[in-house]
Amino acid sequence: MAIDYADNRVTATSNNKSVHVKSVKLTFADVVTGGTASVKAVLPAQSTILEFRFWKKTQLSGNSISAATLSIGVTGAATSFVNAADILTPTAGVTSALTSVTTHQGYDSNNRTDISLLFTGTATTGNPTAGEFYVDIYYAE
């Protein structure tokens, strides 16, 4: 059940939710010129997304790649959570938060179906031939 921020009761248990982490492994094959959206994670219905964290294991490289971005969203709104976050510049081995367009809101409090998250990795200049990174999705239910 999504966090209910309209709940004005202040008690020890109001809006007390369990936080979960879903981790997604992505590789150079998920980053292509033009970008291709594909489902890489599914969250339970009525989840509240709290944060997206990014960790790069190895640098994206090959084919003269000069920029790479990652967007995260849902069908019909492929950038609804993360819009074109730079995934080329961060140093390998460093964890950082992805700037989110929308968090701390239930995706759809009336949604009774699981939430399929689309990941779109977009490269410029050429498709990379190497690189691996991870996105951790923190959400409450």
Of 30, 18, 6, 34, residue with least CA distance to 109: 6
The span from the CA of 61 to the CA of 125, in Å, is 11
pLDDT digits (tens, 9 = 90+) for 35-59: 999 999 999 888 888 899 999 999 9
7 domain residue, yes or no: no
Q: What residues are paired with 124 via a beta bridge?
A: 67
1 domain residue, yes or no: no
Is residue 19 within 8 Å of residue 123, measured between CB atoms? Answer: no
Of 114, 103, 87, residue with least CA distance to 28: 87
The span from the CA of 90 to the CA of 105, in Å, is 27
Write the CATH number for 122. Answer: 2.60.120
Residue with tokens 């709940």: 7
- Look at residue 27 and give its three-state secondary structure: strand
5 domain residue, yes or no: no
63 domain residue, yes or no: yes
Q: What is the pTM of this model?
A: 0.85
How many domains in the chain?
A: 1
**Domain of residue 53, residue span:** 21-140
128 domain residue, yes or no: yes
111 domain residue, yes or no: yes
User: Given a cut of 80, is residue 93 above it in pLDDT?
Assistant: yes
The chain-wide mean pLDDT, for the chain, equals: 87
pLDDT digits (tens, 9 = 90+) for 53-78: 999 999 999 999 999 999 999 988 89
